Amino acid sequence: MVSIALLGVPNDENSSFVRGPAEAPPLIRRELFSDCYSLWSETGVDLENRFRDLGDVAFADDVDPWIAIETAVDEGLAAGDPLIALGGDHAITHPILKAVRRRHPRLAILHIDAHADIYHAYQDNPRSHASPFARIMEEGLADRLIQVGLRTICDEHRAQFERFGVEVVEARHWKDGLKFAFDTPVYVSLDIDGIDPAFAPGVSHREPGGPSVRQVMDLIQAIDQPIVAADVVEYNPRCDLGGQTATVAAKLVKEIAGMMVRTVQG
């Protein structure tokens, strides 16, 4: 039986505006496992007893956080099951992918976000949460990067898209039924601010004009290759309204997990 490793990554030290995403993992878990909701995915997968919760990455002053994250992810993948990381800010995607890539010589990233997060070094910080995909592509951690839902593109982003061959679908061009053809395993990187803030207000950088929760789930549910790992990042409880965004994040974790089971076990 396919299990889903669940790993909290409570790190937001590279956030550029406000802190708070480091507080997200336990709140997403609380919603995910609440008796208020069913653990069946929309795609017909019973996730009861499917999650293998690894707890949260433990950070120590004498260990580089990136090493701690990479090591924890590597250990979480050791059993051969897919893994979902709960952020944390988007900077954590870089060390996560360092571990994932070692196990997958061919890999595509489906990145859903309001922001491209591909600045060379935002605010002179190469580890900024606005820069992980620059590091990822520089280091060859994926063969293909698809960014969907963007609505804050600047000239530096466009130059980086050309440099790395990024495929981009801006939010203004998102149509119902959007899907992609993959021929490799897939990593899903889901920034909660990729969703319109009307549905998910609990983020540090609200950017109106995004897709609905339904559109994001439809896109994920259309993936027909193994989803081997994923992250759900940038939920900021300090900016949430009545826990609305925690519920959205948990729903998306559940639907990603359901698709992992379906695509990995065939």
Query: Residues within the annotated binding site?
Result: 90, 113, 115, 117, 191, 193
Q: Are 221 and 255 in contact (CB under 8 A)?
A: yes
Delimit the domains of the chain by residue range.
4-265
Separation between Cα atoms, residue 157 and residue 134, nearest integer Å? 10
For residue range 108-117, what is the model confidence (pLDDT) as tens digits?
Answer: 999 999 999 9
Q: Which of 185, 9, 11, 15 is nearest to 100 (CA)?
A: 185
Question: Tokens representing 155?
Answer: 């000239």
Q: What phi-psi label fits residue 35: left (phi over 0), alpha (psi between -120 and 50 degrees) or beta? A: alpha
pLDDT of residue 264: 83
Do the bridges between strand 4-9 and strand 51-56 make them parallel or antiparallel, or are there none, so unpaired? parallel
Q: Which fold has domain 4-265?
A: Arginase; Chain A (3.40.800)
DSSP bridge pairs for 109: 145, 187
Which H helix or E strand runs over 111?
strand 108-112
3-state secondary structure of 247: helix
Judging by beta carbons within 10 Å of its beta carbon (0-12, 13-18, 19+), is residue 28 exposed, middle or buried?
buried
Provide the 10 A C-beta neighbour count for residue 88.
32
Average pLDDT over residues 104-108: 97
pLDDT of residue 1: 83
Question: Tokens representing 84?
Answer: 């979902």
Q: Residue 251 — φ and ψ, nearest 5°?
A: -60, -45
For helices 65-77 and 93-103, the axis angle rounded to 10 degrees is 40
pLDDT of residue 266: 61
For the chain, give the number of residues: 266
For residue range 156-210, what is the model confidence (pLDDT) as tens digits?
Answer: 999 999 999 999 999 999 999 999 999 999 999 999 999 999 999 999 999 999 9
Query: Residues within the annotated binding site for Mn(2+)?
Result: 90, 113, 115, 117, 191, 193
The predicted model scores a pTM of 0.97
Helices (H), the chain: 24-32, 65-77, 93-103, 132-138, 155-164, 213-221, 244-265
pLDDT at 6 over 90: yes
Q: Is the peptide bond before 55 cis (omega within 30 degrees of 0)?
A: no
Average pLDDT over residues 123-127: 95
Chain mean pLDDT for the chain: 97
Question: Tokens representing 161?
Answer: 């898209």
